[in-house]
């Protein structure tokens, strides 16, 4: 009886969770389905720990790699190949900052909604390609199952994680997709990203911004308020701030470009009024290219 009650309780919890997750996952997987997987879907041999395939022994192969049990059952000598675990794990991270909740009249989506969609769509692509995915800072081990994608979706929807990604134990030469508005202090961003890069992680930064954050399309008397704090600023003539604001924004981006270039990462800008599929196709090419090296 107790087991039946427990099973019913778990079923109810699962159904409650499923009512929250599917809309985001369905949209993410729909977008992922529009991208051709290409080479990203092909597993590569390497020094990982998980078995991938057998292949015939050839000149130059180490005898230590011969699988004698397999070879004994055949008239040929076979090599046991493992997956290249260091190259097929994609680590995901989205910013939990309150600033990500911003949405202007120029967009239908908040920055957080778009960041979550991009992140999970990339994860869905990786899962379809049988690549492992993990979420930086989450308690879930990397895996290539849809169940892991669902867990990561729950983690991301709960807004968990550090203000900036912190280093966790990741195989060297893994890839990381980091999605944020990156309005943090550049020194803090540099410290976090340099730590990851020093550990051999190949990273891809996607700066998600609202179109109003690029153009500052306001004029006259406007009050600006901090998304998660008490700070307020009342501007009598907002249009006079446009040039200085644009200069400051470009300065932040130039610092991010310089940082990315210096540590061998990529930097991409995405506006919330743009189609996410286009960005995903570009990310697919960047990430699969990095994973193939």
The pLDDT of residue 49:
53
Decide if 17 is inside a domain. no
Q: pTM of the full predicted structure? A: 0.76
My answer on whether 112 and 246 are in the same domain is yes
The pLDDT of residue 109:
96
Which residue segment(s) compose the domain that 111 sits in?
Answer: 86-291
The pLDDT of residue 15:
46
CA distance 114 to 121: 10
CA distance 30 to 32: 5
The pLDDT of residue 244:
94
Decide if 8 is inside a domain. no
Decide if 251 is inside a domain. yes
Q: What is the CATH number of the domain that holds 154?
A: 3.40.50.410
Decide if 143 is inside a domain. yes
CA distance 52 to 121: 26
My answer on whether 223 and 198 are in the same domain is yes
The pLDDT of residue 37:
42
Decide if 128 is inside a domain. yes
Q: Encoding tokens for residue 49?
A: 């720990």
The pLDDT of residue 95:
96
Decide if 24 is inside a domain. no
The pLDDT of residue 67:
83
State how many domains the chain has: 2
Decide if 30 is inside a domain. no
My answer on whether 92 and 123 are in the same domain is yes
CA distance 200 to 239: 45
pLDDT tens across the length of the chain (293 residues): 555 555 555 445 544 544 445 477 778 887 887 764 444 444 544 445 555 567 787 655 667 778 888 888 888 888 776 654 444 689 999 999 999 999 999 999 999 999 999 999 999 988 887 788 999 989 888 888 888 898 899 888 887 778 899 877 777 668 999 999 999 999 999 999 999 999 889 999 999 999 999 999 999 888 888 776 677 777 888 889 999 999 999 999 999 999 999 999 999 999 999 999 889 989 988 887 654 44
My answer on whether 130 and 162 are in the same domain is yes
The pLDDT of residue 41:
43
Max intra-chain CA distance, the chain: 86
My answer on whether 258 and 219 are in the same domain is yes
The pLDDT of residue 204:
97
My answer on whether 141 and 217 are in the same domain is yes
My answer on whether 179 and 68 are in the same domain is no
Decide if 229 is inside a domain. yes
Q: Spell out the SS3 assignment of the chain.
A: CHHHHHHHHHHHHHHHHHHHHHHHHHHHHHHHHCCCCHHHHCCCEEEEEEEEEEEECCCCCCHHHECHHHHHCCCCCEEEEEECHHHCEEEEEECCCHHHHCCCCCCCCCHHHHHHHHHHHHHHHHHHCCCEEEECCCCCCCECCHHHHHHHHHHHHCCCCCCCCCCCCCCCCCEEEEEECCCCCHHHHHHHHHHHHHCCCEEEEEEEECHHHHHCCCCCCEEEECCCCCCEEEECCHHHHHHHHHHHHHHHHHHHHHHHHHHCCEEEEEECCCCHHHHHHHHHHHHHHHHCC
CA distance 167 to 192: 8
Query: Residue 142 half-sphere exposure, CB side, CA atoms within 13 Å?
Result: 25
Burial of 12 per CB tally in 10 Å (0-12, 13-18, 19+): exposed
My answer on whether 231 and 127 are in the same domain is yes
My answer on whether 78 and 163 are in the same domain is no
């Amino acid at each position: 009886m107790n087991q039946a009650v427990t099973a019913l309780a778990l079923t109810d919890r699962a159904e409650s969770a499923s009512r929250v997750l599917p809309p985001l996952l369905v949209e993410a997987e729909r977008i992922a389905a529009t991208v051709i997987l290409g080479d990203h879907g092909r597993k590569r041999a390497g020094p990982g720990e998980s078995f991938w395939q057998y292949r015939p022994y050839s000149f130059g192969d180490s005898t230590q790699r011969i699988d004698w049990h397999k070879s004994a059952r055949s008239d040929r000598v076979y090599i046991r190949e493992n997956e290249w675990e260091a190259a097929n794990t994609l680590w995901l991270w989205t910013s939990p900052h309150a600033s990500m909740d911003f949405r202007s009249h120029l967009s239908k989506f908040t920055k957080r909604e778009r960041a979550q969609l991009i992140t999970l769509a990339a994860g869905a692509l990786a899962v379809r390609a049988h690549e492992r995915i993990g979420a930086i800072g989450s308690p879930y081990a990397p895996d290539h199952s849809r169940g892991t994608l669902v867990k990561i979706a729950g983690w991301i929807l709960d807004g968990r994680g550090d203000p900036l990604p912190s280093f966790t134990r990741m195989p060297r030469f893994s890839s990381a997709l980091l999605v944020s508005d990156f309005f943090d202090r550049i020194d803090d961003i540099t410290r976090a990203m340099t730590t990851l890069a020093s550990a051999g992680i190949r990273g891809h930064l996607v700066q998600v911004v609202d179109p109003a954050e690029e153009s500052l399309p306001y004029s006259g008397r406007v009050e600006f308020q901090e998304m998660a704090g008490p700070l307020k600023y009342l501007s009598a003539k907002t249009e006079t701030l446009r040039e200085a604001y644009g200069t400051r924004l470009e300065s932040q981006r130039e610092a991010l470009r310089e940082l990315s270039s210096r540590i061998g990462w990529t930097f991409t800008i995405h506006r919330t009024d743009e189609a996410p599929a286009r960005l995903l196709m570009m990310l697919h090419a960047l990430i699969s290219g990095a994973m193939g090296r």
